[in-house]
């Protein structure tokens, strides 16, 4: 062979090698030197991480659809559909076909508010079969009417069992108070009544066809595999899957959760030795306001520093646990503070922590504490990056073609400025309502008089109606007195609420009522000048006004500022005895001194273009 022939042959080999390498690495991006991101033409994305020391391969298919994508009529459809598809995977594994079964392959499937996941863990020799199983079950399934009906019945049973479980009760109540009318979008089972009137086969198939498509999917693979070989096999199996017709950016829009308006609290009985408080704030998500999420992650790390004075004082009070956690999703987030106090100092510890949380901007917020918080967060972040959950964290914050949020999170937290952090704490902690939930056993609940010190308060306070007997203006009966007590507690823990007390009466009642205590009360309050003139002119008040004034006086005597109280009165005429009874009442109108808007409007205004910018 001549020198030219040898050189030409060598050149051909090099070109062949380079061409093959280019083909292998086509559409591939390297993340953090260990994770490969492969983007296919049909929109299918893969994250591949080789771990040669691992014995198995873990493959997870994430479909970016959960309860936040549902409307009220099909609330719960994501959970039901995911369960139907995971049952198909389980059925295949039970049949022990193609070498995979529950003896050598495990299955984990679940739904969150924003995604549905199907995970198989198997030996390296079986991962190609598992890929085919995921393809056939997740993207090419046939769903029957019988399967749907059976699954709805199973979910109804699950709801009934959850109603008996204290943990489910607690989390459901917390979500309902945090998100109010939007709670269905945060409850995985959606409609807690279990009726599901519009979840029929037609709607399920339309939902399946819309969301279970490759350009709304992310496949993760990690373990004992060779990345290029895995990529090649996955491409071959999933290449024929139909690409969706939807606008991914539209699907990943900011979900307009309505901001909380009131601070509320509740108690749930639980068979536990130590009582436990959870205090939660509703926050925007990582995509609706990325900067706020950086502050929230940092705040959690600062609060968890064992050397800050809140932690030190809590330990002196015998507190067994005091932690903060920012549970962030793309569209919403929750800052959760957990307290396990000493039983004998239950409310002393709780009141101390709540008071300090309301003034964090004046206490732990300083340069040294921020630096310590950043270092603590760096440790947490490094532990996640080194764990097998790193791919899961990247996926959680993946929105259409942007995988950068979690990879850039540490640097973003380190870029937080003191002044911005202070503004964030004032807006989102000091001036924002929260929900307190308490888990406690029945014996401790009675002995510690929890119901009088922490009465159950929910948004129904706004709908209270006080009922009266004919010609009676004093509140009578346990129901009326309990509502009045809860109303006082409601106004006490919500200092930015104003109350209008609306007194009503029926024309069949006496036209005049007298009460010296109310007369002296009206005489002492400058804002009652108009009522005072009428009172001195006639020496009496109409029953509807007297009813309103007695509730206002009770609230004022127990510490509610008069600037937050006002009253109205209205007499009604009735045609029947039933109407007359209905007219003898007092209703309430509650409003905020500081109007709350939706998180979307708060951060971006009402126009969609503001979000894009």
Asked, for residue 452, whether it belongs to a domain, the answer is no
* Close Cβ partners of 499 (under 8 Å, ≥ 6 residues apart): 487, 491, 555, 560, 564, 565, 566, 588, 589, 590
pLDDT at 604 exceeding the cut of 90: no
Global pTM value: 0.84
Same domain for 326 and 385, yes or no, is: yes
- Given 445, 480, 513, which residue is the final one in a domain? 445
CATH code, 160: 3.30.830.10
Looking at the domain assignment, is residue 2 inside a domain? no
Is the distance from CB of 166 to CB of 271 less than 8 angstroms? yes
Instruction: Band the pLDDT of 29: cuts 50, 70, 90.
Output: confident
Q: Looking at the domain assignment, is residue 603 inside a domain?
A: no
Enclosing domain of residue 230: 26-251
> Are residues 496 and 592 in contact, defined by beta-carbon separation less than 8 angstroms?
yes
Lowest-confidence pick of 76-85, 358-367, 442-451 = 358-367
Residue 393 lies in a domain: yes
End residue of a domain, out of 251, 281, 300: 251
In a domain, 4, yes or no: no
> pLDDT digits over 151-203, tens only?
999 999 999 998 899 999 999 999 999 998 888 889 988 878 888 988 999 99
Shared domain check, 282 and 244: no
Contact 127, 225 (CB under 8 A): yes
pLDDT at 1: 45
Element (H, E) at 337: strand 332-340
Q: Which residues contact 131 (CB under 8 A, 6 or more apart)?
A: 59, 233, 234, 237, 238
- Mean pLDDT is highest, among 39-43, 274-278, 286-290, 576-580, for 274-278
Q: Which residues contact 384 (CB under 8 A, 6 or more apart)?
A: 390, 393
Q: How many residues does the chain have?
A: 613
Reported in sequence order, the residue ranges of 464-552 that DSSP labels E, i.e. its strands, are 465-467, 497-506
Query: How many structural domains compose the chain?
Result: 3
**Which distant-in-sequence residues (6+ apart) come within 8 Å of 481 by Cβ?**
475
User: Domain check: are 288 and 427 in the same one?
Assistant: yes
Could you give the 3-state DSSP secondary structure of residue 491? helix
Residues 479 and 332 occupy one common structural domain: no
Min mean pLDDT across 118-127, 244-253, 296-305 is at: 244-253
First to last CA, the chain: 65
DSSP states of 425-437? HIIIIITS--EEE
Provide the pLDDT confidence category of residue 421 given band limits of 50, 70 and 90.
very high
Which range among 3-7, 413-417, 511-515 has the greatest average pLDDT?
A: 413-417
CB 510 within 8 A of CB 571: no
**CB within 8 Å of 33: residues ≥ 6 apart:** none
Out of 6-10, 329-333, 407-411, pick the least confident: 6-10
Predicted confidence at residue 263, as pLDDT, reads: 92
Distance separating alpha carbons of residues 186 and 53, to the nearest angstrom: 38
Residues 242, 289 within the same domain? no
One domain, residues 129 and 33:
yes
Predicted pLDDT of residue 17? 36
Indicate whether 416 and 467 sit together in one domain. no
Q: Which of 202, 226, 251 is the last residue of a domain?
A: 251
What is residue 10's predicted lDDT score, i.e. its pLDDT? 38
Neighbours of 103 (CB within 10 A): 8
The pLDDT, as a whole number, for residue 43 is 82
573 and 497 fall within a common domain: yes
- 463 three-class SS: helix
In a domain, 7, yes or no: no
270 and 223 inside one domain = no
Residues 51 and 131 in one domain: yes
Domain CATH code at residue 473: 3.30.1330.60
At 120, the pLDDT band (50, 70, 90 cuts) reads: very high
For 78-109, write each residue's pLDDT tens digit: 999 999 999 999 999 999 888 899 999 999 99
Give residue 248's pLDDT. 60
Q: What is the pLDDT of residue 595?
A: 53
Mean pLDDT of the chain: 87
Question: Is 238 inside a domain boundary?
Answer: yes
pLDDT in tens, 190-209: 878 888 988 999 999 999 99
Q: What is the pLDDT of residue 250?
A: 62
Q: pLDDT tens across 238-279, in order?
A: 988 887 776 666 655 546 677 888 899 999 999 999 999 999
Residue 450 lies in a domain: no
pLDDT at 247: 65
Both 470 and 440 in one domain: the answer is no
Q: What is the bridge-based pairing of β-strands 565-572 and 332-340?
A: unpaired
């Amino acid at each position: 062979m001549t020198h030219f022939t040898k050189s030409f042959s060598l050149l051909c080999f090099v070109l062949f090698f380079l061409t093959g390498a280019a083909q292998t690495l086509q559409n591939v991006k390297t993340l953090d030197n260990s994770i490969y991101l492969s983007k296919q033409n049909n929109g299918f994305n893969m994250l591949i991480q080789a771990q040669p020391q691992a014995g198995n391969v873990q493959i997870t298919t994430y479909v970016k659809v959960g309860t936040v994508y549902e409307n009220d009529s099909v609330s719960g459809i994501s959970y039901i559909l995911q369960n139907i598809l995971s049952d198909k995977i389980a059925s295949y594994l039970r049949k022990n076909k193609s070498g995979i079964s529950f003896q050598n392959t495990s299955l984990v499937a679940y739904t969150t508010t924003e995604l549905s996941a199907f995970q198989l863990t198997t030996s390296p020799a079986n991962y190609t079969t598992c890929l085919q199983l995921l393809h056939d079950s997740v993207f090419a399934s046939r769903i029957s009417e019988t399967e749907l009906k059976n699954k709805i019945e199973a979910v109804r049973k699950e709801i009934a069992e959850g109603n008996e479980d204290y943990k489910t009760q607690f989390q459901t109540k917390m979500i309902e108070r945090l998100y109010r009318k939007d709670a269905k979008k945060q409850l995985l089972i959606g409609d807690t009544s279990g009726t599901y009137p519009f979840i029929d086969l037609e709607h399920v198939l339309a939902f399946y066809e819309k969301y279970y498509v490759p350009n709304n999917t992310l496949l993760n693979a990690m373990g004992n595999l060779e990345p290029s070989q895995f990529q090649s096999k996955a491409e071959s199996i999933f290449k024929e899957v139909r690409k969706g017709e939807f606008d991914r950016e539209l699907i990943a829009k900011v979900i307009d959760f309505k901001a909380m308006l009131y601070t509320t609290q509740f108690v749930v009985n639980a068979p536990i030795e130590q009582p436990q408080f959870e205090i939660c704030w509703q926050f925007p998500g990582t995509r609706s306001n990325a900067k706020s999420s950086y502050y929230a992650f940092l705040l959690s790390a600062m609060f968890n520093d064992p050397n800050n004075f809140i932690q030190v004082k809590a330990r002196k009070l015998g507190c067994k646990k005091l932690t903060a956690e920012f549970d962030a999703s793309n569209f919403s987030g929750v800052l959760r503070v957990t307290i396990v106090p000493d039983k004998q100092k239950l409310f002393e510890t709780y009141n101390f922590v709540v008071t300090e949380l309301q003034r964090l901007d004046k206490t732990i917020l300083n340069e040294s504490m921020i630096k310590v918080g950043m270092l603590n967060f760096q440790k947490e972040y490094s532990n996640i990056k080194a764990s097998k959950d790193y791919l899961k964290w990247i996926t959680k914050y993946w929105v259409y073609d942007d995988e950068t949020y979690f990879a850039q999170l540490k640097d973003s937290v380190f870029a937080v400025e003191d002044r911005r952090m202070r503004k964030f704490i004032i807006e989102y902690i000091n001036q924002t309502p929260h929900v307190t939930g308490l888990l406690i056993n029945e014996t401790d609940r009675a002995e510690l008089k929890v119901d009088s010190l922490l009465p159950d308060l929910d948004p129904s306070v706004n709908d209270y109606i006080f009922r009266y007997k004919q010609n009676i203006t004093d509140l009578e009966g346990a129901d009326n007195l309990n509502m009045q007590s809860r109303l006082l507690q409601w106004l006490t823990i919500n200092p930015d609420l104003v109350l209008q007390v609306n007194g009503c009466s029926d024309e069949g009642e006496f036209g005049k009522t007298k009460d010296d205590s109310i007369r002296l009360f009206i005489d002492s309050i400058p804002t009652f000048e108009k009522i005072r003139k009428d009172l001195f002119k006639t020496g009496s008040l109409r029953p509807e006004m007297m009813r309103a004034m007695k509730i206002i006086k009770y609230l004022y005597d127990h510490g509610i500022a008069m600037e937050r109280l006002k009253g109205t009165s209205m007499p009604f005429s009735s045609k029947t005895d039933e109407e007359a009874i209905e007219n003898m009442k007092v209703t309430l109108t509650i409003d905020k001194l500081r109007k709350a808007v939706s998180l979307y409007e708060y951060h971006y205004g009402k126009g969609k273009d503001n979000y894009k910018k």
